[in-house]
Structure 1
Amino acid sequence: MVAHPDESPGFLLWHVTLRWQREIVAALAPLDLTHVQFVLLATAWWMNSHGESPNQLSLARRAGTDVKMTSQVLRRLEDKGLLGREVDPADTRAKLLRTTDEGAELARRAIGVVEAADAAFFGATPDLSTLQALMRPLADRPLADP
């Protein structure tokens, strides 16, 4: 049993995550992107630039986001002219996602902004490679069904 909340890894992770999210939100605000919009736009751009044309489900899986929420955010990105959807010739019920030229440019800029925010936030971490090694197995675990 943990004697004090500050000794709980989950509680500490919660606080670090909140602080990090605030930094990312502030960094993305001048680009008129929410954090989730950034994650989905950047992931779609990355997949497109690596020869993939994801649909909503494959993008949500790659990004680790809820499929229904992903749909809502993708509509917003499409309304902003950052993302386009095309009917998948292999499955007419599915739409393939492609970043527009404007979306690709914004994704590249936003990635730079987020990387700078990450560097500033995690720069005080004495051994970042150890932190990454500790987090990777946790991040790669499959999510439990609700």
Structure 2
Amino acid sequence: MAITKNGGYLTLKIHLLNGRLFNRLLSNDGRALYNAEQGKIVSALWDKRPQTASELAQVTGLANSTLTLMLKRLEEEQGLIVSVQDEIDKRKKWFDLTQTGIEQEEVGNQVSDKLSSIFYAGFEDKEIEQLEGYLERILNNLETAMAEIPREDSTK
């Protein structure tokens, strides 16, 4: 009997459901001032601040057009971030958290902990360790392939 290799499909479904559930948990919490997609940006800034839009795009994986809209909302409508023009390179902007954005980290951590308890329900510590080891290997395989396989020239 042939082994089915559904890891990519399962990972895609897990990613989709994980994001939807994270959004539900955030909105049900009532304290969160951002959604899951915006959470990628504020989380990146919790880890390292300030950052440029290019750095945030790299860390979050968001497309520039999506990132630009989200940054604008996070700053102008939600008051979670602030932007400052670079003093040397006027084309560059730096993004940082406001005090409100900093305070949202506690909410984000608590919601993430809830999601993790759902994600790993029924798993023993050893199983979690094994699973994460396998996922790290898959991630490494994919990152290696991205570095080795050139992007097709779209100007052809």
Q: TM-score range by the shorter chain?
A: 0.7 to 0.9
Gaps of 5+ in 2: none
**What is the total number of aligned residue pairs between the two structures?**
140
Moved more, 91-100 or 60-69: 60-69
Cα 1:65/1:139, change in 2 over 3 Å: farther
Q: Quick one: distance in 2 between partners of 1:91 and 1:115?
A: 40
Q: CA deviation at 1:64?
A: 2.4
**Tell me, which stretches of 5 or more residues in structure 1 are unaligned?**
none
| TM-score for both structures, normalised by structure 1 | 0.81
Larger radius of gyration: 2
The answer on 1:122 being equivalent to 2:123 is no
What SS is found at the alignment partner of 2:62? coil
CA distance in 2, matches of 1:16, 1:125: 16
- Paired residue secondary structure (2:123): coil
CA distance in 2, matches of 1:139, 1:108: 28
**What CA distance in whole angstroms lies between the structure 2 residues aligned with 1:120 and 1:81?**
30
2:22 counterpart of 1:21: no
TM-superposed CA distance for 1:104, in Å, is: 0.7
Assess if the C-alpha contact under 8 Å between 2:85 and 2:93 holds in 1: yes
Find the aligned partners of 2:151 and 2:41 in 1 and give their Cα distance: 22
Give the letter for the 2:13 counterpart.
H
Corresponding position of 1:132: 132
Q: Deviations over 1:12-44 (max 9, x none)?
A: 222222322222111111324221101111111
TM superposition shift of 1:114: 1.4
SS of residue paired to 1:89 = coil
Matches within 5 A, 1:1-146: 8-29=6-27, 30=30, 31-48=32-49, 53-79=50-76, 80-126=78-124, 127-139=127-139, 141=143, 142=146, 145=151
State the Cα distance separating 1:3 from its structure 2 match. Answer: 7.5
**Matched residue SS, 2:83:** strand
Give CA deviations for 1:76-103 in whole Å, capped at 9, x if unaligned: 1002110000011231111111100001
Determine what percentage of the aligned residue pairs are the same residue. Answer: 19
More off after superposition, 116-125 vs 100-109 = 116-125
AA aligned opposite 1:69: T
Root-mean-square deviation (Å): 2.5
d(CA) in 1 for partners of 2:92, 2:68:
12
Report the CA distance shift for 1:97/1:110 in structure 2 as closer, same or farther (over 3 A): same
Matched residue SS, 1:125 = coil
